[in-house]
Structure 1
C-alpha cells in the first residue's frame, strides 16, 4: 500500500495497525521516502509476541548511533549534552526552538494546575525515563512532559524514577518528527504507557493515543479550535488554540 506523508500524519493510528498486516510505502510529492513494516521480535521469557514498527528511511536513522547500554551511560554521564537511547541507538537531543518551548510552557502549566492535589505528578524534560522491552533491551528517553502516578514507589537510591509514566507528551519538530511518531510511539505502547499525546506545531494538531495490552485501543487527532480530551484522566482537557498560538 502507498500513502502520502500528509495522509499518514493525519491518520497515523490507522496506518500503524495496517502495517502489522502489510507494508506501507510513504510518499512525498510522488516520491517514495520511507516504509512502515511490522517486524517480529524475539520475546523474553514469559513475554508475549508483538509487532514493532520500523521506518526504513535515511532521515529516520539520521542521528542514531549503535551502542551498548553501558556505552550510552558512559557517554551521557560524562557530557553536558542530552541524549536518548532507543533500541540500541543513541540520539542527540538538539536545543528546542521557540515554537516548541511555547507549546511546552502552555501545556505543562495546564497539567501542573490540573494535577494539583491529585495523586499523579506532571514532570517536564529534562528527566530520564527508563523503559524496558525485556531485561536486555533497556531504553532511556526524555519526553517533553510526563504524568507519573507511582513516583514515590519507584525512586531508586540515586533519586531516579524507574517506573512507567501513565501519560507522556512529545512536541514534534522537523528533526524529531519521525522518531516521535514511529520509534517512540511503539516504545511507549510496548512498555506500558497508557496515553500518548503528540503535539504537532507544524500542522497545528494534537493527536492522543490510548494504549492497552501493547495495542492502540483508540486515537483522536484534534485540529484548529478544538478541545483536547484525555482518555485516562476524565476532565483533563486543553484548548488547542491556547497550546499552539
Structure 2
C-alpha cells in the first residue's frame, strides 16, 4: 500500500496495524521516502506459552479456523446465523447494539431521501456482497449500508447482486473495530469500492475515505456539529448530531 506522509501522520495507529497485512510505502511530494514493515513473530518453543491471551469478542466472533470457500458456502446453507468470509477466514456476526442500529437507521433514511429517483439504490444488511481480490480469492461481506449504482445490470438469474457497491458504510463496535479498520478497509479499497464511511458511535465521529487505484486518495473525519460529506456524491451529507442521537 502507498500513502502520503500527511495521511500517515493523521492515522498512524491504523497504518501501524495494517503492516500486519502488508508493507506500507510512505511518499512525500510524490517521492517514496520510507517503508513500514511488520516484525515477524518468533515461533513458540515446545511447551512455551504466548505472551498475550486474546478474548473472543462476542459481537463479531472468529468462527474457528481457515476455511475454503466451499466450506463457507456449506456452513452458510446449513446455518441460520450470519457469517462473513474474508481472506479465507469465517466470522460470525452477532446482534448489534442500540447505538449501532440507530446510526444505521438514521443514515439509511438520509441516503434513501438523497438517492430517490436516481439510478443508485441504498441497501442495508443482511445482504451478501461478493468481492474478489483475484478470480480465486472470493470474499463475502455484509456491509451495514451500501449504495449500489449498477444493480439491474449485475443481478444474476437467482436475483443475487454480483457487482461492486460505489459506497459502503460500516458502523464500528468494540469487537469489530480491527476488522472494519484494517481487513475490510483493505478489502474494499482493493476490490473497487469508491468510498468507505467508518461510523464510530464511541467517539461520535465519521471518517470518509476516497479510494482510487487501490489506494486511499483522500480522507476526512467529521465530528461535533459538523456534517459528514461524500467525496463522490455531491450534496450527500449527514449531520453528526443526527447519526449519534443517543
- TM-score, structure 2 normalization: 0.79
Q: What is the aligned residue count?
A: 209
C-alpha RMSD over aligned residues: 2.5
Unpaired stretches in structure 1, ≥5 consecutive residues: 1-7, 25-33, 41-52
Residue in structure 2 matched with residue 233 of structure 1 by the alignment? 233
Contact 2:168 2:197 in 1 (8 A): yes
Kindly indicate whether residue 19 of structure 2 is the aligned counterpart of residue 36 of structure 1: yes
Residue in structure 2 matched with residue 66 of structure 1 by the alignment? 66
Contact 1:119 1:149 in 2 (8 A): yes
> What is the deviation of 1:35?
7.1
Kindly indicate whether residue 146 of structure 2 is the aligned counterpart of residue 146 of structure 1: yes
Kindly indicate whether residue 54 of structure 2 is the aligned counterpart of residue 84 of structure 1: no
Compared CA separation, residues 197 and 35, structure 1 to 2 (3 A): closer
> What is the deviation of 1:77?
1.3
Contact 1:60 1:179 in 2 (8 A): no
| Structure 1 runs (4+) greater than 4 angstroms displaced | 56-62
> What is the deviation of 1:175?
1.3
> What is the deviation of 1:39?
2.4
Residue in structure 2 matched with residue 209 of structure 1 by the alignment? 209
- TM-score, structure 1 normalization: 0.79
Unpaired stretches in structure 2, ≥5 consecutive residues: 1-6, 24-36, 42-51
Residue in structure 2 matched with residue 49 of structure 1 by the alignment? none
The separation in 2 between residues aligned to 1:78 and 1:112, in whole angstroms, is 33
> What is the deviation of 1:60?
9.3
Look at both structures and tell me which one has the larger radius of gyration over its CA atoms: 2
Contact 1:60 1:178 in 2 (8 A): no
Contact 2:18 2:182 in 1 (8 A): no
